[in-house]
Structure 1
Amino acid sequence: MQRIAVDVGNTGTKYGIFEGNDLIKQGYFQGVENIPVEITNHTFEHAIVASVSADTAAYTSRLSVTGNIVTLSEQTALPVLNKYKTPQTLGVDRIAAAVGAYYFFPGRNCLVFDAGTAITHEFITSDGSYMGGGIALGLRMKLKALHTFTQRLPLVDQIPDNFPVTGQTTQESILSGVLAGTVAELNGFIQLYSEKAPDLVVILCGGDAGFFESKLKGRIFVIPELVLIGLHRILTYNV
C-alpha cells in the first residue's frame, strides 16, 4: 500500500507518493483548497505532514489513511541525533533535508544547501548527528529587498544562468551583487566545512538548485526530492 509525504512550504506545497522505499510520484500545489484529487480520492497506508507556514490540521484532515498520520514536530522520533539547541524552533524542512542526506550518504559528513525562498544549509556528521546550519535570504528575496528598501533601484525579477561579475548597468550590477555574491557565499561555506570535514559530501536541493549546480566548487550532488525522501524516512522510522 502507498504512503504519502506532504511538505508545506512558504510559497507552496510539495508531495511525494511512495511505494515501499520508491518515490513513484511527486507534485506541487498552492493552498489547501487546491489539493489534487489524486491525494483526496486515494487512501494511503501512512502519511507524514510537515509545515513551515500553515496549520497542518488543514492538510491532515483532507487525507484518508488506514494507519498513522505523523505530524512532524520537535516531539517526533528521528533516525538521526538532533543536536540543535532549540529544536522547537527548527524548521521541519531543515531536519527532513538532514535526514534525507544521511539516508543517501550514511557514514559521511554532509553539507546540504536548500535553495528556495530562503537558502538554508545543514551539517550532518558521519555518525548521524545533526549539528545545525544557517538561514539566509534566497535569490528572489534579495532582489526584492533591494527594490523595496531603496528609492531608485529597479526590481529585477529574472535570474539568468549567465551574468556579469562586473556589472556595467544598474541591472547588471544588481545581478552581480546578488547572484555572484550568493555563489561566493555558498562556496565560502563549502570551504569552511571542508576544512573541518575533509570527506565532505555537498548536496543541493530546492527550487534554485539548478542555478547553483554548475557554479559551486567541487563535486555536487543535486537531489531535488531530498526533503520528501527525508520525510518518508522519518515516517518509516515512526510506524
Structure 2
Amino acid sequence: MNITFDIGNTRFKYAVFAEGNMLHNEILDLNTKNQIQIMETIDKYMINTNSVIVSNVGKFSELNYLNIKNKVKKLLIVSDKIKLPFKNKYNSNKSIGSDRIALASGAIKKFSGNPILIIDIGTCITYDYLNENNYYFGGAISPGIKIRLLSLNRFTNNLPNIDFKVPPSLIGDTTEGSILSGVFYGILSEIDGKINMYQNENSKLTVLLTGGDSRYFAGKLKNTIFVEKNLLLDGLNFLIEINE
C-alpha cells in the first residue's frame, strides 16, 4: 500500500493506493485545527504502508517528515533529484514546484505520446506544457481566485473583501457582483485564451483541467478539455512506482 501527500498553500490532500488503484482520498484545510487530524491520518494508515511520497509547496514541519520516516519502509520527497518520467527542459530545475512535477507525471501516465497542456486552478493557476516526446518545458503561473479577490481589497481603499461564488450574470449590478464578474470571467477568458495560443503552436494538443477550483470553470470553457480532478495524486503514486 502507498500513501501520497500533497501539501499545498491552503489545503492538505492525501490518497491511499493499492496495486495502482486509489482506495481513499481526503482534502483538509491547512489550519491549526486540522494539524492534529493530519497527524492522526498519518498514524492511521502507516501500519500497512510500504511507501509514502510527499509533494510540499506549503508548510509541512520537519516533525511531520520525521514521524512518517520512522513508520514506513520508504519516504520519497518530490524534487528534480528523483527519477522522473519526463525529460526536464525547465531552465531552473531546482525551482520547479513539486506540485508541477507531480502533475506532469500524472499526465504522462495517462496521456503519454500526446502534446499536453495541464491547467491547475488553485491558489495559483499553473499552466504546464509537455510535448509528444515527454519533454517538459514549463508554462505559466498566474493568480487564482482567492489572490485576485484579496488583491482588490488590499490594494484599494473602498473595495470589500468578499467570498467567491460564481456570478449570476456577466454584468455586475452591485460592487460585489462586479468584482465576482471581473474575477470569474477574467480567469475564464485567460484560460480559453491560453488554450488557443497553445493550440496555435500544436493543433493536436490535449488539455487537462485539474485543481480545487477547476469545478467552477470546467463546464464554461469554449475549448475541449479533460477534467482530471485527481491528476496530482495519481502522479505522485506513479512517481513511487518508477522510483521503486
Give the TM-score band, short-chain normalised: over 0.9
- Counterpart check, 1:112 vs 2:156: no
Q: C-alpha deviations, 1:181-235, integer Å up to 9, x for none?
A: 1100000000000111111111111111110101112221111111111111111
- Counterpart check, 1:228 vs 2:233: yes
- Counterpart check, 1:14 vs 2:13: yes
Counterpart amino acid of residue 26 in structure 1: N
Structure 1 residue 9, shift from structure 2 partner: 0.8
- Counterpart check, 1:151 vs 2:157: yes
**Which residue does 1:87 correspond to in 2?**
93
**Which residue does 1:35 correspond to in 2?**
38
Equivalent position SS for 1:177? helix
Structure 1 residue 134, shift from structure 2 partner: 0.9
**Which residue does 1:26 correspond to in 2?**
25
Q: Is the 8 A contact 1:50 1:56 kept in 2?
A: no
Q: 1:192 aligns with which of 197, 205, 218?
A: 197
Structure 1 residue 50, shift from structure 2 partner: 1.3
**Which residue does 1:97 correspond to in 2?**
103
**Which residue does 2:210 correspond to in 1?**
205
> Alignment length, in residue pairs?
237
Distance 1:36 1:28, change over 3 A: farther
Determine the C-alpha separation between the residues in 2 that align with 1:74 and 1:158: 35
Distance 1:77 1:56, change over 3 A: farther
Q: Is the 8 A contact 2:79 2:101 kept in 1?
A: no
Structure 1 residue 115, shift from structure 2 partner: 0.5
Q: Is the 8 A contact 2:169 2:181 kept in 1?
A: yes
- Counterpart check, 1:129 vs 2:135: yes
Determine the C-alpha separation between the residues in 2 that align with 1:65 and 1:106: 34
Q: Is the 8 A contact 1:50 1:93 kept in 2?
A: yes
**Which residue does 1:172 correspond to in 2?**
177
Structure 1: where are the runs of 5+ without partners? none
- Counterpart check, 1:182 vs 2:187: yes
Structure 1 residue 56, shift from structure 2 partner: 5.8
Structure 2: where are the runs of 5+ without partners? none
**Which residue does 2:51 correspond to in 1?**
46
Identity of aligned residues (%): 33
Determine the C-alpha separation between the residues in 1 that align with 2:64 and 2:53: 10
Determine the C-alpha separation between the residues in 1 that align with 2:91 and 2:168: 39
Q: C-alpha deviations, 1:153-183, integer Å up to 9, x for none?
A: 11221322x4322223222221221111110
Determine the C-alpha separation between the residues in 2 that align with 1:66 and 1:153: 50
Q: Is the 8 A contact 1:47 1:65 kept in 2?
A: no
Structure 1 residue 55, shift from structure 2 partner: 4.2
Instruction: Please give the TM-score of this superposition, normalised by the length of structure 1.
Output: 0.93
